[in-house]
Amino acid sequence: MNKILVIIMLVLTIQVYAQDVNLTIRVNAPANTPPQDSILPIGNQGIFGFWIYPKSKVLNKVDNNICEGVYSFPKNTDLEFKITRGSYFKEALYNGNGHSAQPIKLKITKDTTVVLNPSNWNDIYQRSIVGTVRYHHNFSSTYLRNTRNVVVWLPPSYEENPKKSYPVLYANDGQNLFDHTNLSGSEWRMDEIADSLMRKGEIEEFIIVGIANTKDRWIEYNGTPEGENYLKFIVTELKPFIDKTYRSKTDKSNTAIIGSSMGGLISFYALYDYPDIFSRAACLSSGFFFDDGDIMSKIKSDLSPFHNSKIYLDCGGKDLDYDFLPTNRMVKELLNNDKQISVLYEEFPEDPHNEVAWSSRLDIPFKFLFPKK
């Protein structure tokens, strides 16, 4: 009798978990969608092509700009997908300003309808990087267990003046600097801002080296052993490559670093731990609040590594910046105690914690770190 009950319970359990539920995806496409193009999701399930778009199922056209599809999955399936017109290059954009969306993620537990309203398409949106960039893909390091992309932005006169050398700005979160198609959904517009200020003669020209982050961003941009290795990677592997490949000014007085949030924290560490390499740093909305290396204690006892350097610090007042503000103020007060350090500190009470906010005030650190000589 007990065996029969067990069998019945197993059958019922299998039936519950094997139950299929439906996902309806409805896309209200923007008016500029080419009428001959198909709209399809790509994602982590077989019917989505396992992220290979030619294998994905096309949405049915309901109206001129409305497409819809119904997909069945076992209950409790974890789903991830994006909307495209058949290519990663033709991904849907949102929010009206060229922001590429993160994949939609959900655990489907019942019949569900997802309605999406793209504002544009990646290939149609007018996008470009101002100036000349060169890519170095899958740059490897003996100190780190990963590779990353490096993009180098060259100043306006670089190609015109082959005998001229330039200061270098190393920039963390490199995939968020120049191009709005990065996965974070927004960018610093660092190319447009630098190019404009340089052409107006408001700042000196410099090279920007964008260092992409990885899945290990949190520990690499922190006062951890991984953070130490990340800085070793920049100083002993990446910088020599840049100095060999590009016409850079290699001395510390012409070497700077910039970052925001945890990227601001690791930029602060770079200036402190390698004063013979860096003499300038811009640390926006810095994550001192999350520091695992206790840089605060170090600078309370010894500020000498910052002597004869320039440090820009700032912080917004909303979102995560609200929590970051007290520690940024503490760092500012400590630095201001030493007159051998040039410090510029700014607060932006209405600014949230994102790339759009950092972009809006980027001209300030640029003018502070690279004044026109």
Which pLDDT does position 329 carry in this prediction? Answer: 98
> What is the average pLDDT across 271-298?
97
Q: What is the mean pLDDT of the chain?
A: 90
Q: What is the pTM of this model?
A: 0.69
Res. 1: pLDDT tops 60 = no
For residues 186 and 328, the model is more confident at: 328
CA distance 125 to 32: 10
CA distance 189 to 127: 11
Interval 112-163: pLDDT, tens: 999 999 888 877 765 567 888 998 989 999 999 899 999 999 999 999 999 9
Name 8's Cβ contacts closer than 8 Å, sequence gap at least 6.
none
CA distance 170 to 150: 10
Which pLDDT does position 120 carry in this prediction? Answer: 80
Which pLDDT does position 14 carry in this prediction? Answer: 47
Four-point Cα dihedral 292, 213, 188, 266, nearest 10: 30
Which pLDDT does position 206 carry in this prediction? Answer: 98
Q: pLDDT band for 187, please (50, 70, 90 cuts).
A: confident
Which pLDDT does position 334 carry in this prediction? Answer: 97
CA distance 281 to 310: 6
Interval 74-118: pLDDT, tens: 999 999 999 999 887 788 887 644 445 678 899 999 999 999 998
Interval 18-53: pLDDT, tens: 589 999 999 999 888 888 899 999 999 999 988 886
Q: Is residue 235 within 8 Å of 273, Cβ to Cβ? A: no
Res. 7: pLDDT tops 80 = no
CA distance 118 to 207: 35
Interval 220-243: pLDDT, tens: 999 999 999 999 999 999 999 999
SS3 percent helix, strand, coil of the chain, rounded to 5, is 35, 30, 40
Is the C-alpha dihedral spanning 53, 38, 181, 106 positive or negative?
A: negative
Res. 6: pLDDT tops 80 = no
Q: Is residue 72 within 8 Å of 66, Cβ to Cβ? A: no
List strand residue ranges (DSSP E) for 120-164, in order: 120-121, 132-140, 147-154
Q: Is residue 292 within 8 Å of 317, Cβ to Cβ? A: no
Beta bridge partners of 248: 166
Res. 54: pLDDT tops 80 = no
List strand residue ranges (DSSP E) for 164-272, in order: 168-172, 207-211, 255-260
Sequence length of the chain is 373
Which pLDDT does position 101 carry in this prediction? Answer: 64
Residue whose C-alpha is closest to residue 264's, from 365, 371, 372, 186: 365
Q: pLDDT band for 181, please (50, 70, 90 cuts).
A: very low
**Helix ranges, 121-224 (H):** 190-199, 217-220
Residue whose C-alpha is closest to residue 306's, from 334, 271, 254, 259: 271
> 3: buried, middle or exposed (CB in 10 Å: 19+, 13-18, 0-12)?
exposed
Q: Is 362 left (phi over 0), alpha (psi -120 to 50) or beta?
A: alpha
Q: Which domains are delineated in the chain?
A: 21-121 (2.60.40.10), 132-369 (3.40.50.1820)
